[in-house]
Amino acid sequence: MPARVDPYCFHMSNRLARESSPYLLQHAHNPVDWWPWCDEAFEEARRRDVPVFLSIGYSTCYWCHVMERESFEREELASAINPRFVCIKVDREERPDVDEAYMAATVMMSGQGGWPMSVFIEPTKRRPFYCGTYFPFEERAQFGRPSFPRLLDAMATAWRDSREEVMKQAAAVAEAVQEHFAAEKEASQLGQEQVADAVSQLLRMLDVTHGGFGQAPKFPQPVFLEFLLDARERAADDSTGDALDRAIRRSLDGMMAGGINDQIGGGFHRYSVDAEWTVPHFEKMLYDNAQLATIYARAARFYGDDEYRRTARATLAFVLREMTDPASGAFYSALDAEVDGREGLNYLWTPPEMRAALAEPDDAHLATRAYGLDKGPNFRDPHHPTAPGTNVPRLADRADRLASQLGLLPGMLIDRLTRINAQLLAARDKRKQPRRDDKVIAAWNGLMIGAFARTGELLEEPEYIHHAQRAADSVRSKLVDPDGRLSRCVRQENASGRAVLEDYACLAQGLLHLHRAKEAAGLDTADNLAAAGSLLAVAQRDFVDGGVAFDSPRNADDLFVRTRSLHDGAIPSGSSVFLNALLDHAELAQNTESAEMALKLLVGASGSIAQAPVGTVNSTRALLRILLAGEGREELGAAPSKPTRPQGPRPAQEVDPVQIFAGVERVSISRDSPATVTLLINIAEGWHIAAAAPGDGVKLVPFRVEMRGGTGIAAYADYPPGDKFSTPGQAEILVYRGTIELHVALEQTGEVTGRPLLNVVYQACSETECLAPALVELDIAIDEI
């Protein structure tokens, strides 16, 4: 591969030139007078009596690049913003605590979040008074938002002429965000029921055709798959086990064959823009590849699947080739989605390009067929609509199943694709490469250290364990100070950023996985166990108060709120990783203090787990571990020994013929602004559910949607009438069959208390039996505006 040109070496004209973050250095030559996040910037704003404009993004963010090109590189924009604001630029990967605090405010104010985040702040207490995301330089009706210059004029005028109202707005927003993070959920009794609920809900969320969970855009959701693998390893070989197998394997097969998996060079892109896993959003993140390599290795071991083994190895080979510092062995953060402003340009192929790259005509013929280039373009750049269509290479199916369609034996196809990919990668490496964010982040390195260690153990590859140890030694030497405290990241020997809980938790867990892998391989375990224990002790001291783990330390006085979250996203929450790491440490070190702290944290999280076992699935995973440790290997699907739900419809705990999908994960609502949620109800062939109004005298539970878990939000739906159905000797009733699309209106009817969640109640029947009524809780976050 040709050497990458350092994209951060150019004339630099503002304070960001002294920073080490690649994202900040991208903006160091802007005419905008940027400051990094620091006390001096807010002091300057107070001295000049101007508000702060805060812009948060990251180096591989497509729309961050767009806003820079459109606005921040313009002299005319700089002349409008510099005199009236102090401008601060933050790398969200370097300061996730700053990002989380202001993202909460942005979602509350605008109803959506994303990057670049654009926030206007009063400088005294650092409270936001206006928040948004991307703003175009020129007015564009399709975006439904003002141009950035017009927004600047409005904010400057409001600060000058309506200061009192601005400060009231800032106080109100800050108070709402503080209440959001401080909200206590009443402790709940936990048991096997929450684990079964999480399994049942994930099986309902499964895309049964393509695998994965939810609709487009579709993310890999490795935290879901990790939990389902845990569940499958402990489930009986019955209908529940079969359903778990389908969910896991369909998801892994779909991603493995799809364009989200870089078929030529290995490694996974961040997400797919379609439900079929064909066209990815092309950035590659270290944390995705760490989690997915581990999951494919686990599945390879459990199912004895060579294709999964090959995928795990290809993913780690990509990481070693393109995401590893050759000098230290530590791991870089990300690869950009674009080249020269064109998304995915490096990864796309046309049939002539593929033929030119391959020496043998037979290989070219096979490659164009295997990777779907003979079926026409599957990618058109949405940002450059006049550009010709090209192809993201993808397989129509797993390589071992695709072989028969191509007239080859599986081993022969795989051998030929291996040779073909080597030639295509050599040709691709001659193209201009995407920018690489080469900062080393403690948390993400912890995930990848764990991935190399676990994959080395699972696949019996000692070389992977060696790479894990080398990275661990490097990260500890560069990011852990003599007092045991971490820095968030390091680049070119410059450590920066205050570590947050996920840094301590992920690095500690990576070291614990490394200790276990080396012990299993009969290798010297070094001091990984002791180092992990020290990190956990510092985390407990600095981040835990009253049995609750916070994301930011108690001395975080540069933020207007102390953040905490149990929600698991692309990366599991810091709290949940901390909880699981404590359980690992308790087991490996026979440490009762770690076990006791884990139980305290589980109690503190119990309300959230009980209300949303899928939203907090990594904590639910910890619950499963504790249940197994205390009660032996209890089979999933069994009735809970201590039901915690009130009497009434029981949660479905077995595989259900009904699947319910929500079109959104988060909505915003106010008294004057209701929200709409679209539900898709898939009913298996041969089954039906009683309609909302099934008929007089019907004893079945009718279909309905309702709010539970709080007050102040009401749900209304325009239910379809249903189809007529009868069996011999029974009265005719109305039922739903097949697929139903339902639009649900959510309205605020009063003060919101608790955590209202949308629930669906139904009773499914076939011609021979009726199942017990089922209640499905939809994990849709509802934000008050």
How is 155-197 classified by DSSP, letter by letter? HHHHHHH-HHHHHHHHHHHHHHHHHHHHPPPPP---SHHHHHH
pLDDT averaged over 10-residue windows placed end to end, the chain, 785 residues: 40 82 95 97 98 96 92 96 98 96 93 93 97 92 84 97 97 94 82 93 94 92 97 86 95 98 98 95 96 98 97 98 98 94 93 96 96 94 85 94 93 96 97 96 98 98 98 97 94 93 98 97 94 97 93 92 92 97 96 92 92 95 87 34 29 60 77 83 87 81 86 88 79 86 87 84 85 81 78
pLDDT at position 374, please? Answer: 94
Residue 149's pLDDT is 97
Number of neighbours of residue 737 by Cβ within 10 angstroms: 16
Cα dist from 34 to 85, 163, 598, whole Å: 10, 24, 43
End-to-end CA distance of the chain: 50
- Spatial contact of 131 and 105, defined as CB atoms under 8 Å apart: yes
Nearest residue to 302 (alpha-carbon basis) of 233, 199, 401: 233
- Could you please report the per-residue DSSP string of 237-280? SSHHHHHHHHHHHHHHHHHHHSTTB-TTT--B-SEESSTTS-SE
The residue count of the chain comes to: 785
Q: What pLDDT, on a 0 to 100 scale, did the predictor assign at position 641?
A: 27
pLDDT digits (tens, 9 = 90+) for 746-784: 988 888 877 788 989 898 888 888 887 788 888 788 877
Answer yes or no: are the C-beta atoms of 455 and 446 closer than 8 Å: no
Nearest to 702 by CA among 758, 769, 766, 764: 764
The number of C-alpha atoms within 13 Å of 729 and in the hemisphere containing its C-beta is: 1
Q: Is 770 left (phi over 0), alpha (psi -120 to 50) or beta?
A: beta
Token readout for 713 is 């939000």
Q: What is the CA radius of gyration of the chain?
A: 27
Record the tokens describing residue 384, joined without a space: 């450059």
Task: State residue 438's pLDDT score.
Answer: 96
Cross-strand pairs, 145: 140
Whether this model's pTM surpasses 0.85: no
Q: How far apart are CA 498 and CA 503, in angstroms?
A: 10
What tokens were used for 768?
């021979």
